[in-house]
Amino acid sequence: MTAGYKDDKEDWQAVCLKYLLFVFNFLFWMGGAAVLGVGVWTLVEKSDYLSLLASSTFAVSAYILILAGSLVVVTGFLGCCAVIREQKSCLSTYFLCLLLIFLIELVAGVLAYVYYQKLSEELKHHLNQTMTENYAQPGKGDITLAVDKLQQDFKCCGSNNSRDWLMSVYISSKPAESRVVPDSCCKTIIPLCGKRDHPSNIYKVEGGCITKLEQFLADHLLIIGAVGIGVACLQICGMVFTSCLYRRIKTDPY
């Protein structure tokens, strides 16, 4: 086998690797947009319910995805420059950025999975206490709004059932004006509609709001985990292609 043939073969392999990296960068950008979109959607669309959770793991997972998605934009541009210029220093930096984002997204995925396992227990222990002790209390306006939105959005009343409100600090107070449930439990909200807890007037959902919120959060955590780990796995391909191209380049061109 002649030296010229070897050089031609190596050049052909380097060209293939460059095209593969370009294709990867396109997929990488799309994956980054998905990661960023899921993170923003989770916080903006469903931020009302975050005040009802005992821990901040759900929000932290979303923030991590937003950080990772933002880094993808910069890293994708760096990757294109590294491939075009064929400089080892650029490729090394690109590889390290991929590795960093890979670890960030992996952390987000693992956090989402771990919290998914603890979600049911947390809601059972925390949601009822939050609703009965903090609803309509001074300085707890965010929780009050979150509970009202929760009951209206999911058409539920009380953490387990409507009778949970009988233990509420709010229902026992004068401002309740003889209500037995908050007005947000009513199918049609009008002032003081919470005085009557008949099924024709309020939502009587089996399992209460805990079941509804748990299912909702579980679905979102699965999406966060799947997107984070899925894009992280995609980056493994990028790191492999980058390593191969790095080995094909003998010296940095001047």
pLDDT digits (tens, 9 = 90+) for 35-44: 777 778 777 7
Establish if 181 belongs to a structural domain. yes
**Which residues are bridge partners to 202 per DSSP?**
186
In a domain, 168, yes or no: yes
Q: Is the dihedral of CA 210, 216, 219, 223 positive or negative?
A: negative
CA dihedral 201, 204, 210, 216 (to 10 degrees): -80
Distances (CA, A) of 83 to 6, 33, 69, 168: 22, 21, 21, 63
Q: What is the mean pLDDT of each run of 10 residues along the chain (254 residues)?
A: 46 70 75 76 72 75 78 75 72 82 78 77 82 90 90 91 91 92 94 91 85 83 74 76 70 44
Q: What pTM was estimated for this model as a whole?
A: 0.70
Residue 11 lies in a domain: yes
* Radius of gyration (C-alpha) of the chain in whole angstroms: 27
In a domain, 254, yes or no: no
Note whether residue 63 is domain-resident: yes
Residue 185 lies in a domain: yes
The pLDDT, as a whole number, for residue 202 is 92
What's the token pair of residue 8?
């031609």
In this structure, what DSSP letter does residue 188 have? S
Q: 44 lies in which domain range?
A: 3-248
For residue 217, is it within any domain?
Answer: yes
Count the domains in the chain.
1
Q: How many CA atoms lie within 13 Å of 95's alpha carbon, on the beta-carbon side?
A: 15
110 within domain boundaries: yes
Q: What are phi and psi of 202, to 5 degrees?
A: -120, 165
Per-residue pLDDT, 214: 84
